[in-house]
Amino acid sequence: MAELRVGLIGLGMMGRHHARVVREVDGLTLVAVADANGDPHGVAQGLPVLQNVAELIDAGIDMAVCAVPTGMHEEVGLALAEAGVHTLIEKPIAHSVEAGTKLVEAFAANGVIGAVGHIERYNPALQSLRERIANGDLGDVYQIATRRQGPFPARIADVGVVKDLATHDIDLTAWLAQSEYTHVTAQVALRSGRAHEDMVAATGRLANGTITNHLVNWLSPMKERLTVVTGEKGAFVADTLTADLTFYANGVVTTEWDSVANFRGVSEGDMTRYAIVKREPLRTEHEKFRDAVLGESQEIVTLQEGLNTLRTAEKVLSTAAAV
């Protein structure tokens, strides 16, 4: 396999994980790192810590990982696109739809591959779930509901919970259903004294008729990452913290107790927890992006898909503000 020279810009919490995985993946060599604020986690490991994207490009890289704060994605991404560097941009694609549109257009115009790091797509539980839905194991899909809750991450300063966390759920929902959002409405709350929202409850509808529900916050003392897909034959529950996937089937045994049968609507059937191979999602993400750069795969979150997700996130915020 040909070795791709990789540059990493942004050496914060996510940057350190990207650096570790790039060093582990076959066909990738981390040759340059950059961050104007230095290297607090010791990511460089002997490499000089460059100051900006221009210096990173001058290092002669084939592809890059952009892990800078969201507000800098546009500037850094445009520079990499114009330099002909294939780039994986951490989610969300940008701070605004206008900025995201510029990135989509720039990468297309320069003939280079761009992707957005919506890492949940590579979670083993969700990958198995998508395959099972596509195979018809659930029949018609009625609803996709997600819960993504936990304590406040001090590292996030430039966006609220909608663009930082809810974008995961927006992307994975459209991806699981293979259908885009046509409608969304939401309520948000600001409880931690920051300028951005830290809690959101959003509902929506996809083009194929699936209804959606998302509860996301930075205010819960417990961490929860659940996706529940309910359909004609039962319900799948994916826990992306543990990468567990469970199926709750509708029962096929007739319930003779009338009051119970009337109340439940459907009867309880068998519960199955699947044994699935659990690979680190970030590693899979990098392998798929590597393969896309080499022309061997298209299993990436495209910039256009990232822009669609951001557009829906902004609709969530605008509907909440209108209330």
Please report the DSSP string for 269-320 in residue order. EEEEE-------HHHHHHHHHHHHHTTS---S-BHHHHHHHHHHHHHHHHHH
What CA–CA distance (Å, rounded) separates 271 from 234? Answer: 10
- The whole-number pLDDT of residue 158 equals 72
- The whole-number pLDDT of residue 259 equals 57
- The whole-number pLDDT of residue 159 equals 81
Which residues have C-beta within 8 Å of that of residue 193, sequence separation ≥ 6? none
What CA–CA distance (Å, rounded) separates 271 from 247? Answer: 6
User: What type of residue is 87?
Assistant: T
Closest CA to 107 of 293, 320, 323: 293
Q: Is the peptide bond before 40 cis (omega within 30 degrees of 0)?
A: no
What CA–CA distance (Å, rounded) separates 240 from 242? Answer: 5
What are the structure tokens assigned to 82, written together?
A: 């114009």
**CA-to-CA separations, 166 to 44, 93, 215, 262, 278, in angstroms, rounded:** 31, 13, 8, 36, 24
Burial tier of 9 (Cβ tally within 10 Å: 0-12, 13-18, 19+): buried
Which residues have C-beta within 8 Å of that of residue 197, sequence separation ≥ 6? 160, 161, 162, 188, 189, 190, 317, 320
- The whole-number pLDDT of residue 269 equals 85
Task: State the pTM of this model.
Answer: 0.91
What are the structure tokens assigned to 24, written together?
A: 């582990």
The residue to which tokens 């004294």 are assigned: 193
Taking the alpha carbons at both ends of the chain, their separation in whole angstroms is 55
Low-confidence ranges of the chain (pLDDT < 50): none
User: What type of residue is 286?
Assistant: H
pLDDT digits (tens, 9 = 90+) for 256-287: 666 555 555 677 788 999 999 999 999 999 99
- The whole-number pLDDT of residue 49 equals 97
What CA–CA distance (Å, rounded) separates 160 from 317? Answer: 10
